[in-house]
């Protein structure tokens, strides 16, 4: 059964209003630590419970994989959901967090949506049909000089206490670029590349639910998706997304 973009947007926006209810009452927000540097809140859980129920009601043939509840039986065709990407930011009242929903059928990403309720920005893409933000088509930037580029990254590696982390790589790249950002939501970072707001994003030690929707949105907007060696594909543990024009310049620094 084909999916309905309108039904999906309505469901995801409703999930956003659940998140915003908690966001507007942070002093009562229940926050727990999954690990020393990894939080989960009652908002994450409430949004995921809502999405699992609504998506399985509309599309009972698909399975579900959510960051907080894990994987259902059917994983060959599944929704891949991060209920709140950027939980740290959310818990501190910052605006840069998002709900990420992707549909993967037989290993192929065919739909992705990243909704930032506090910014009221809804990014979405369908395989082969382009990417859009708030209904308008989006494309990667035209920046062809790394020296003039703005880049974004994250430090999930530090959450995992990885020895081979991103700090030296960040310094190498920061020294030869114009702007550097750490926004706090990998899902939204990918959408900013798609929307031409930044020219490249990279991060280690992510999970598929962090990047599935944003990767499709970026690819449909003309981005390259590789690992740090330049192999094409979606590699959550080593993801590099660029506007394509600066890929050859940034790869030697990865
Ligand atoms: C996190 C965000 C952050 C990234 C972390 C992710 P979460 O997602 O995407 O930008 O650096 O590694 O875990 O934990 O808030 O869903
Ligand atoms: Ca996440
Ligand atoms: Ca999350």
Task: Identify the pLDDT of residue 38.
Answer: 84
With CA atoms as reference, report the closest residue to 16 among 70, 54, 60, 61.
54
Question: For residue 160, what pLDDT band results from cuts at 50, 70 and 90?
Answer: confident
CA atoms within 13 A on the CB side of 60: 1
Q: Give the C-alpha separation, 92 to 168, whole Å.
A: 28
Residue 184, ligand 1, Cβ within 6 A: yes
Q: Do 102 and 183 belong to one domain?
A: no
- Domain of 16, CATH number, reads 3.30.540.10
Pocket test for ligand 1, best of 156, 191, 212 (most atoms within 8 A of CB): 156
Kindly give the distance from the C-alpha atom of residue 114 to the centroid of ligand 2, in angstroms, as a whole number: 11
Domain finish residue from 76, 111, 137 = 137
Q: Give the C-alpha separation, 82 to 97, whole Å.
A: 11
Domain finish residue from 112, 137, 162 = 137
Residue 156, ligand 1, Cβ within 6 A: yes
Neighbours of ion ligand 3 (CB under 5 A): 67, 82
Pocket test for ligand 1, best of 23, 86, 153, 170 (most atoms within 8 A of CB): 86
Q: Do 150 and 126 belong to one domain?
A: no
- Domain of 172, CATH number, reads 3.40.190.80
Residue with tokens 């590349």: 193
- 98-105 and 77-85: which strand pairing? antiparallel
- 63-66 and 77-85: which strand pairing? parallel
Convert the pLDDT of each residue in 68-124 to its tens digit: 999 998 899 999 999 999 999 999 999 999 999 999 999 999 999 999 999 999 999
CB atoms closer than 10 angstroms to residue 76: 11
Q: Do 41 and 72 belong to one domain?
A: yes
**Is residue 205 within 8 Å of residue 160, measured between CB atoms?**
yes
Kindly give the distance from the C-alpha atom of residue 110 to the centroid of ligand 1, in angstroms, as a whole number: 23
Q: Do 199 and 101 belong to one domain?
A: no
Q: Do 171 and 119 belong to one domain?
A: no
Task: Identify the pLDDT of residue 163.
Answer: 79
**Is residue 41 within 8 Å of residue 77, measured between CB atoms?**
no
| pTM exceeds 0.95 for this model | yes
Domain finish residue from 137, 161, 179 = 137
Q: Give the C-alpha separation, 239 to 83, whole Å.
A: 21
Convert the pLDDT of each residue in 166-185 to its tens digit: 999 999 999 999 999 999 99
Residue 166, ligand 1, Cβ within 6 A: no
- Residues spanned by the domain of 190: 146-253
Nearest atom, ligand 1, residue 186 CA: 9
SS3 231: coil
Q: Do 10 and 132 belong to one domain?
A: yes
Task: Identify the pLDDT of residue 1.
Answer: 56
Q: Do 164 and 132 belong to one domain?
A: no
Residue 210, ligand 1, Cβ within 6 A: yes
Residue 86, ligand 1, Cβ within 6 A: yes
Residue 154, ligand 1, Cβ within 6 A: yes
Q: How would you class 147 by CB atoms within 10 Å of its CB: exposed for 0-12, middle for 13-18, buried for 19 or more? A: exposed
Q: Do 157 and 181 belong to one domain?
A: yes
Q: At 15, give phi and psi (nearest 5°).
A: -65, -35
Number of domains in the chain: 2
**Is residue 216 within 8 Å of residue 138, measured between CB atoms?**
no
Q: Do 130 and 153 belong to one domain?
A: no
Residue 134's contacts (CB-CB under 8 Å, 6 or more residues apart) are 120, 121, 122
Q: Give the C-alpha separation, 162 to 252, whole Å.
A: 21
Q: Do 150 and 92 belong to one domain?
A: no
Q: Do 14 and 111 belong to one domain?
A: yes
Q: Is the dihedral of CA 235, 238, 239, 240 positive or negative?
A: negative
Q: Do 15 and 78 belong to one domain?
A: yes
Convert the pLDDT of each residue in 201-245 to its tens digit: 999 999 999 999 999 999 999 999 999 999 999 999 999 999 999
Kindly give the distance from the C-alpha atom of residue 210 to the centroid of ligand 2, in angstroms, as a whole number: 4
């Amino acid at each position: 059964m084909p999916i309905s973009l309108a039904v999906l947007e309505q469901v995801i926006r409703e999930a956003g209003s659940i998140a915003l209810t908690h966001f507007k009452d942070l002093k009562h927000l229940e926050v727990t630590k999954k690990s020393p540097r990894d939080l989960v809140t009652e908002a994450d859980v409430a949004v995921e419970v809502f999405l699992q129920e609504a998506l399985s009601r509309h599309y009972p043939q698909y399975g579900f994989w959510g960051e907080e509840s894990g994987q259902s039986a059917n994983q060959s065709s599944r929704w891949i959901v991060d209920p709140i990407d950027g939980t740290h930011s959310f818990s501190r009242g910052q605006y840069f967090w998002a709900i990420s929903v992707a549909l993967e059928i037989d290993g192929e990403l065919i739909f992705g949506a990243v909704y930032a309720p506090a910014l009221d920005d809804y990014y979405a893409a369908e395989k082969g049909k382009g990417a859009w933000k708030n209904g308008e088509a989006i494309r990667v930037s035209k920046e062809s000089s790394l020296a003039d580029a703005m880049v974004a990254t994250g430090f999930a590696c530090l959450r995992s206490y990885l020895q081979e982390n991103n700090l030296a790589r960040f310094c190498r790249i920061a020294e030869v670029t114009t702007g550097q950002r750490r926004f706090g939501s990998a899902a939204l970072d990918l959408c900013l590349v798609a929307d031409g707001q930044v020219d490249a994003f990279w991060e280690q030690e992510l999970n598929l639910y962090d990047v599935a929707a944003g990767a499709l949105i970026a690819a449909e907007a003309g981005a390259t998706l590789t690992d740090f060696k330049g192999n094409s594909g979606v590699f959550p543990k080593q993801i590099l997304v660029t506007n394509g024009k600066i890929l050859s310049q940034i790869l030697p620094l990865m």
